[in-house]
Amino acid sequence: MTQVESKPTTNDTPFVPIEKIVALCKRRGFVYPNSEIYGGVSGIYDFGPLGVELRNNIRRYWWWSMVQLHDNIVGIEGAIITHPRVWEASGHVENFVDRLVDCKNCKRRFRIDHLPEENVIQNKCPECGGELMEPRTFNLLMETYLGVVEGERMQTYLRGEACQNIYLDFDNVVKSSRVQIPFGICQIGKAFRNEVTPGNFLFRQREFEQWDLQFFVHPSEMLQWFDYWKEKRFEWYMGLINHKDRLHFREHGPDELAHYAKQAFDIEYKTILGWQEWEGIHWRQDWDLSRHSEYSGQDLSYTDQNTKERYIPWIVETSGGVDRTFLNLLLDAYEEEPDPTGKEPRTVLRLHPALAPVKVAVLPLQKNKEELVTTAKNIHKKLQRLMVSQYDDVANIGRRYRRQDEIGTPYCVTIDFQTLDDRTVTVRERDHMTQVRINIDELPAYLLERVTWQ
Ligand code: GAP
């Protein structure tokens, strides 16, 4: 897919406040607070008409890049609920915990790993300077129960990380799909965590969606594949963002590695929240398949068809978030551009055209001229079969362009009086506001070339 044009940033380029994105998302139907009429639920959100289009595009693009374009990668879709033993084997029951402290004075609660070091040493609240209480440990797994008869119900968990299904289905995939090591299994799916400090909008939620590649390799090739996927995933994110200097790698220190990881790098993106994880590249080694073999009593080793060597494959994991991608792309794309004529600034979402929720808006110059309206509606009907198109005849053309800029629509097609004479329309591009005239018959190919990934 073509890369988003780089938008050079300097140290003075301001970061977009999260509140602006929250307001835009609510106003234009991207994201709503969940159960809002009941006062909402912290860390849980719903996606509106434009949000669901953007999410679907983000998911499809990941799937296309990771599964469709690789002969040695297949996809699965596992269930959210699994046998409870899965979470003992995975180490989550024991290790998936946050350590928290409360301030005796202001009663605020903090994750110890988010506190500045000096506050931990001095046992001092970073907000009010008050004394901190003894740390407490909370498990993040969300419990649920299967069955209806009281006393016979089985306690289990909503999955705390989506990737576990991939290990559970590893042997089934090997036996049913003719895959051979090195190969990968991908999945996109919901995960649930009782985050003690959810916040920053979609950044840290309690219900969210992850995408995972688990790439199975021979131990002797681990380093090579780890480096390969690290670079490949970095390039993938780079291709989607305008602010190319706001993406980097950060290696995990020994004290912050997850219980399953021997080595890990985060791809981080810088926003108003500072540098934050976007996707993790984890060296999971043989942790998962060995543990599930041990806990289930089933042999999950792999036999090389050529050498007949039998071994537990090692795993490179690339694990990112659909919601975090959604948020980061909005923060990256949002811009308020001064208007040279002195009117209100132009708000524009410079989203990659292939990801934009609406690809084209079809606009008759005037709504009281029947021929213009009929021609525009016919064009819209044709385009609608190929891409998400919106017909709009409300307000003057300038306001309609602005409405589309604000939701990131890359192209607006205007039907004017010349159209009725020579069957040409104006195509206006979002980022540079340039306009070209195109014959109606050439319009579908012109747009498709620019709004699809290939
Ligand atoms: N299987 C590995 C794993 O789950 P993780 O770093 O905990 O690793 C992977 O999560 C990705 O999932 C993160 O990089 C982030 O994009 C997303 N993610 C994790 N927790 C999240 C949360 N509470 N809300 C939104 N996204 C989250």
User: Is residue 261 over pLDDT 90?
Assistant: no
Centroid of ligand 1 to alpha carbon of 96 (angstroms): 13
Whether 150 and 77 have beta carbons less than 8 Å apart is answered as no
Residue nearest to atom 7 of ligand 1 (CA): 161
- Beta carbon of 266 within 6 Å of any ligand 1 atom: no
Is-above-0.85 flag for pTM?
yes
Whether 29 and 51 have beta carbons less than 8 Å apart is answered as yes
User: Is residue 454 over pLDDT 90?
Assistant: no
- Beta carbon of 193 within 6 Å of any ligand 1 atom: yes
Residues contacting 164, CB < 8 A, separation 6+: 78, 82, 86, 87, 90, 288
Mean pLDDT of 291-301: 97
Mean pLDDT of 356-363: 98
Residue nearest to atom 6 of ligand 1 (CA): 280
Q: Which atom of ligand 1 is nearest to the CA of 163?
A: 1
- Beta carbon of 325 within 6 Å of any ligand 1 atom: no
Q: Which pLDDT score is estimated for 101?
A: 92
Instruction: Identify the CA nearest to 170 among candidates 40, 360, 312.
Output: 312
Residue nearest to atom 21 of ligand 1 (CA): 204
Centroid of ligand 1 to alpha carbon of 204 (angstroms): 8
For residue range 5-56, list pLDDT tens digits in order: 655 555 567 899 999 999 999 999 999 999 999 999 999 999 999 999 999 9
Average pLDDT for the chain: 94
Listing DSSP states for 79-135 in one string gives -SB--THHHHHTTHHHH-EEEEEEBTTT--EEEGGGS-HHHHHHTB-TTT-PBB---
Give how far the C-alpha of residue 100 lies from the chain's centroid of Cα atoms, to the nearest Å: 27
Residue nearest to atom 20 of ligand 1 (CA): 204
Centroid of ligand 1 to alpha carbon of 441 (angstroms): 46
Mark out the alpha helices in 2-84 (DSSP H runs).
Answer: 18-28, 49-63
Rounded distance between C-alpha atoms, residue 321 and residue 194, angstroms: 16
Whether 91 and 292 have beta carbons less than 8 Å apart is answered as no
Rounded distance between C-alpha atoms, residue 260 and residue 193, angstroms: 17
- Beta carbon of 210 within 6 Å of any ligand 1 atom: yes
Q: Which pLDDT score is estimated for 170?
A: 98
